[in-house]
Amino acid sequence: MSGLSEGAKALLSEPIAGWATTVRPDGSLHSTVVWVDVDGDDVIFNTAIGRVKERHLRNDPHVSISVLDPNDAFHAVSVSGDAKLEEDGADALIDRLAKKYLGVDTYPHRTPGERRITVRVQPEHVIFSDGQ
């Protein structure tokens, strides 16, 4: 298992959108933009139950999350591991991410009946470049 360096944690803590790559049932890869953060040594993001990412992760927990510094193409982090899905605290996390990325206290894009879920990834492989 590989842990996150302080530099990798710092980059993941910035309000920079990342992308998560999951595995489709046919084995092909699916990448989507996500808001990310760190919780201890874990990388976390949030989605809604029933969305493609959540369905893929229930079928195959392998996931990769990457962030690229928009000001330095050589400052990046990519983390891969198995996802753990958690409903407890997921609403609070999406609000925390909305504060980080939008500067608002409450996530403004909820839909009626939507149930949020946190995706928690304990890093198994980490690639980190601290820039030029």
112: CB partners within 8 A, 6+ apart: none
Count CA within 13 A, CB hemisphere, residue 74: 3
pLDDT in tens, 42-73: 999 999 999 999 999 999 999 999 999 999 99
Query: Average pLDDT of the chain?
Result: 96
pLDDT in tens, 74-83: 999 999 999 9
Q: Residue written as tokens 């092909």?
A: 28
Instruction: Please state the domain extents for the chain.
Output: 6-130
pTM of the model: 0.93
Q: Which CATH number fits domain 6-130: 2.40.10.10, 3.40.50.10070, 2.30.110.10, 2.40.160.20?
A: 2.30.110.10
